[in-house]
Amino acid sequence: MTTEKEKMLRGDAYDPFEPQLVEERERARALTRWYNDTDETEPETRAALLSELFGTVGENAFVEPPFRCDYGSHIHVGDDFFANFGCVMLDVCEIRFGSHCLLGPGVHIYTATHPLDAETRREGVEFGDPVTVGDDVWIGGQAVLNPGVSVGDRAVVASGAVVTNDVPDDVVVGGNPARVLKEL
């Protein structure tokens, strides 16, 4: 029998109110609250909390509080990862970052989505699509990565961009929806 969590991670429709998923979200809320309540004099505590919250954490990973996520355990960050103030990651599916990634303030990354049909939406089911970010990527402040997108190596996502399609390697994208502005 397939669990609701297995369905969720596969990107199938699932029941977000299944007790195991509720418990895992509550765990993430507690860990993010503790993380967000730390101060700049507690780097070891912050590192330990990130390691407990995220699925995997590379060396020298840092997230400026406040930070929010759904589960945390589906977030994987490489070495030298930095997320500025106010980032949100809705990780019902995996969010994977390569090494040397920088996120500006208020970056939002969504893997969670809902049915387009109103009647189905009323049933309360959700689904998701993973997001992947390559190495050496810079995502500017207030940018949004939508479910299912991949961002290529060495790409730059301009501030305020709304990424609805995959971003190739070595480009700058911007706008809503984001489009290639420049090749690097």
By annotation, the residues acting in catalysis are: 114
**Residue 14, both tokens:** 């699932």
Alpha helices in 112-157 (DSSP H): 118-122
Helix 43-53 crosses helix 19-36 at what angle (to 10 degrees)?
Answer: 170
Which residue, among 77, 78, 111, has the nearest Cα to 93 in the 3D structure? 111
Bridging pattern class, strands 112-113 and 127-128: antiparallel
Q: Please, is 50 exposed, middle or buried when counting C-beta atoms within 10 Å of its C-beta (0-12, 13-18, 19+)?
A: buried
Name residues whose C-beta falls within 8 Å of residue 117's C-beta, 6 or more positions apart in sequence: none
To which residue do tokens 């995220």 refer? Answer: 54
130, 142 Cβ separation under 8 angstroms: no
How many CB atoms are closer than 10 A to CB 174? 19
